[in-house]
Chain A
Amino acid sequence: MQNKNPVIAKVLNVLVFLFLYLPIAVLIVFSFNDSKSRTVWSGFSLHWYQELFQDEEILSAFSTTLTVSVLAALIATVLGTAAAIGFHSMKRRPRHLLLTINNIPMTNADIITGVSLMLLFVFTGNLLGFSLGFGTLLVAHITFNIPYVVLAVLPKLRQLNPNLGEAAMDLGATPWQAFWKVLMPELRPGILNGLLIAFTLSIDDFVISYFTAGSEVATLAMQIYAMTRKRISPEVNALSTILFITVLALLLIVNFREMHQTKQAEKRNKALQKDGVKGGAK
């Protein structure tokens, strides 16, 4: 059935990709436009990028985004890794239950997560005397990052020989030493993947940030939104382009790393099987 009409299939494919990516392409192209027009091309220029880097508000939003992304990614990675190790050592039933709970925020609509976190922060803020701001923004980001880190680290844990930690302790390592000297090197690729994913998610998050940052703090995504409401300037195009390219690059890195790791694991498995045969011939 798929081969019945290859031409139509191809055309449809192209249309789908055009529909998805043409707006972004137009946005990128017009970010280099010389004039203020959003419809007429009047020559190549980096003018809007220069503007961008002189805009105080944008620079501040940029530094907020970077700070919150780095901090949230790092903290979520530590917590998520610890959680993954905890899940892994659990019995089947409680583990499944907790993993499901872990997965809910990922499928949940961002707006629900955002609003509910905001309500929580406002409520506890009233009790404890703090208001929405950088702190609540950071906590929100950590919260939505953790499930992704858990999912990145768990497969590595499953690949581990279950006796590895015991072997290290058997040889005199304290549980702490066993973790750092033996488990950590094995988990590192998964942990790094988790860190990158968390960072990417934080950088381009809008909805949850919008509800939890309060009125004083803004991230880049929030800044773009605000700009489109106030005055429509091609600066928005430039800023969006930067954000798009950054996130795209990060996603590419994550995907290439994962592909590479899968290949590596396959190679290792093949080598092991071959060795088994060799051992037999000996």
Chain B
Amino acid sequence: MSKELIRLRNICMAFDDEQVLDNINLYFNDSEFLTLLGPSGCGKTTTLRIIGGFTTPTSGDVIFDGVRINDVPPHKRQINTVFQKYALFPHLDVFENIAFGLRIAKVPEAEIRERVTEMLGVVSLKGFEKRRVDQLSGGQQQRVAIARALVNRPKVLLLDEPLGALDLRLRKDMQNELKRIQQQMGITFIYVTHDQEEALTMSDTVVVMDKGRIQQIGTPEDIYNEPKNAFVADFIGESNILDGIMHEDYVVEFFNRKFKCLDKGFAPMEPVDVVIRPEDIEIVPADKGRLVGTVTSVTFKGVHYDTIVDFKGYKWLIQTTDYHEVGEVIGIILNPDDIHIMKKSEYSGLFGDYSSYSAEYDEINDPDFAEEDEEDADDED
């Protein structure tokens, strides 16, 4: 087991009267790739800034390697950051950008040359030494930002939505690249994103946050397969979420029918949220199904069809590779491991209803947009 490197203990943060972080308790292991995942305004960037030392928490402790570092300024922490918009130094070329930290630390010239060259190799930017940073593409600037941070051999690298400004294709390439770099350097990466796919692809551990609270911590598989509440189930992938009643261990009732499931440990007749992933549902002819419904909408998505099926006025999303036309009456079968039971939470009833389904899924809300708009308005006056 790897050792614990950073611990956040009872961290609370408030800006003016707004509570941004509400009692965060979290630890980070050495050499782990951990992702803070959540919608904009959930407190993930604030958490990152607290670890980096740019923001001081209202209360709580930041422990690094067993030492409380609340009052240690950023330039004295063995932590480096890759900022959202890179924040490269425009007046320096690629080499000098990467060498910046080493020059501040007064590393001998020969060693600077050696280490910068080595880092240029790691981020595949050999031959770009003398380029001005504003002559680089977004992806290349991103690599310079990573090299500039890693050349200082930090114990932890913080990344704040580093791929947010790149287009989809480049983003996929950089995801693999980042994972490779992390394994090659063997250091802890703490990664902030609102992109659930990115989080699942790269992380060893995912921390799902909302409203300044941690909703769930786990491996990508845990988070996807065993979501703790309706928020997590809905935020990570697509989910049908229904009201159910747990009759006894392994038996749940919804739509007035009893189903076998794999969950236990609930009180008898406890109301619960039932999660059924759209890709787990098996469509069968109407006479063979446990539930029977009518197809109301079909959207071709490439790999599968998004099929909306109406069960007694409650609409489900089913992802299937077989085409079923609108108006067709179909049956479905649910196996015990297709059903996941969650305790009721403040999020119950808010998510997982496809009655107002649109083929665009939920728009991913990009935190940049709102902020930039505000800044622009600011600049004009």
User: Footprint of B on A, CB under 8 Å?
Assistant: 92, 96, 158, 161, 163-164, 166-175, 177, 181-182, 185-186, 268, 271-272, 275-276, 278-280, 282
Contacts and interface: CB of A to CB of B under 8 A. Distances in A.
B101 A172 contact: yes
Given A166-B54, A186-B90, A279 B378 contact: no
A92 B136 CA distance: 33
A185 B89 CA distance: 9
A215 to B, nearest CB: 45
Contact of B83 (A167, A172, A185, A279): A167
Interface string B60-100: 00000000000001110001110111111111000000001
A170 B85 contact: no
A282 B169 contact: yes
B85 A161 contact: yes
A272 B74 CA distance: 30
B52 interface: yes
Contacts of A282: 137, 139, 169-170
Given A177-B104, A280-B170, A171 B137 contact: no
Contact of A170 (B52, B86, B138): B52
A164 B89 contact: yes
B363 interface: no
9 contacts: A161-B86, A161-B87, A166-B81, A169-B75, A170-B54, A170-B79, A175-B73, A186-B90, A279-B139
B100 A171 contact: yes
Contacts of A161: 83, 85-87
A180 B135 CA distance: 24
Interface in B83-140: 83-91, 100-101, 104-105, 134-140
Nearest to B139: A279
Contact of A164 (B87, B134, B166): B87
A158 B100 contact: no
Given A182-B89, A280-B169, A166 B74 contact: yes
A166 B83 contact: yes
Contacts of A272: 134
Given A164-B89, A186-B90, A271-B134, A173 B75 contact: yes
Nearest to A172: B104
B18 interface: no
Q: Which 7 A-B pairs have the closest CB atoms?
A: A171-B101, A163-B87, A279-B137, A167-B87, A185-B91, A163-B83, A275-B137
A274 to B, nearest CB: 9
B167 interface: yes
B55 to A, nearest CB: 10
B378 A92 contact: yes
B360 interface: no
Contacts, number: 89
Nearest to A281: B169
Interface centre among B79, B84, B86, B90 (most CB of A within 10 A): B90
B306 to A, nearest CB: 27
Contacts of B167: 276, 279-280
A271 B90 CA distance: 13
A164 B138 CA distance: 17
A246 B79 CA distance: 53
Nearest to B378: A92
B81 A170 contact: yes
B186 to A, nearest CB: 21
Given A164-B89, A174-B75, 19 more contacts: A96-B381, A158-B379, A161-B86, A163-B84, A164-B87, A166-B74, A168-B89, A168-B100, A171-B101, A172-B105, A175-B73, A175-B75, A181-B104, A271-B135, A276-B138, A279-B166, A280-B170, A282-B139, A282-B169
Contacts of B100: 168, 171, 173, 181
B138 A275 contact: yes
Interface string B161-177: 00000110110000000
A158 to B, nearest CB: 6
B152 interface: yes
B73 A279 contact: no
B148 interface: yes
Contacts of B261: none
A70 B51 CA distance: 46
Contacts of A185: 89, 91
A172 B88 CA distance: 15
B52 A186 contact: no
Interface in B327-381: 378-379, 381
A167 B146 CA distance: 12
Nearest to A166: B54
A235 B100 CA distance: 58
A276 B74 contact: no
Contacts of B75: 169-175
A94 B104 CA distance: 35
A57 B135 CA distance: 56
B274 interface: no
B128 to A, nearest CB: 13
Nearest to A268: B134
Nearest to A155: B379
A96 B378 CA distance: 10
Interface string B199-223: 0000000000000000000000000
A98 to B, nearest CB: 14
Contacts of A278: 137
A167 B139 contact: no
A170 B80 contact: yes
Contacts of A177: 104
Contacts of B74: 166, 169-170
B149 interface: yes
